[in-house]
Amino acid sequence: MSATAADTYWEEIYAGRPAATDPRPNHRLAEIVTGMPPGDALDLGCGEGGDALWLARQGWRVTAVDISAVAVARLAGLARSRDLEGRVLTERRDLHESFPRGAFDLICAHYLHTPFDLDRAGVLRAAAHALRVGGRLLVVDHGSTAPWSWNQGQGVHHPTPHEVAAGIDLDPAMWTVERADMPRRLATGPGGQTAEVTDHVLLVRRTA
């Protein structure tokens, strides 16, 4: 499928639903990042912007990217309304085509799944290389299919954190896996429905 089809698909997803007025951060982000000294963060696939806004409120300088122009425009507006525009830089970018420039202390990829072509392992490898020494890459994937997910196909394989780490194929002399587990939690969908879901969590730290 072409990048144009991906653009159209995600634009329709965001344009087709009301803009979030108070997007919340992902559960695992708040759990893992709370207490880390703030620095420069990159949010890959920022969506509604809950993670970027939360990080900015914690003192981080955030570059938030998404393929959807609607999503990044809405996030930019929310950042301005909260006097956080100096801490949140929004950027419309197709990660299938290019990776953001810069060096970061934290890079987050929450549920970076798509029905379109994306060399996800390549994107995550680029993210690991964009970390400063001591910086962390946090990857949180779906470990189960929620009732409200767009991906309801039978036989869907959810790669484990160890499989994701193996796919990124980082040199252990330069990167260390600090966490790789599959916790469960009660999640709330966009319509208010709830279900128990599994998250696949991978946290990698650059050591050299």
Domains and CATH numbers, the chain: 3-206 (3.40.50.150)
Q: What is the mean pLDDT of residues 52-79?
A: 97
Instruction: Let me know if 18 is exposed, middle or buried by CB neighbors in 10 A (0-12, 13-18, 19+).
Output: exposed
| Cβ(78)–Cβ(108) below 8 Å | no
Q: Judge whether residue 1 has pLDDT over 50.
A: no
Instruction: Let me know if 182 is exposed, middle or buried by CB neighbors in 10 A (0-12, 13-18, 19+).
Output: middle
* Alpha-carbon span 109 to 69, nearest angstrom: 18
Confidence of residue 188 (pLDDT cuts 50, 70, 90): confident
* Alpha-carbon span 88 to 75, nearest angstrom: 9
Average pLDDT, the chain: 92
Q: Judge whether residue 147 has pLDDT over 50.
A: yes
Q: Judge whether residue 150 has pLDDT over 70.
A: no
* Alpha-carbon span 23 to 21, nearest angstrom: 6
For residue 119, what pLDDT is reported?
96
Q: Judge whether residue 194 has pLDDT over 90.
A: no
* Alpha-carbon span 131 to 201, nearest angstrom: 18
* Alpha-carbon span 164 to 124, nearest angstrom: 9
- Tokens 């990080």 belong to residue: 55
- Residue 198 identity: T
pTM of the model: 0.92
Q: Helix and strand tally (H, E) in the chain?
A: 6, 8
Task: Dig out the tokens for 83 from the structure.
Answer: 């006097």
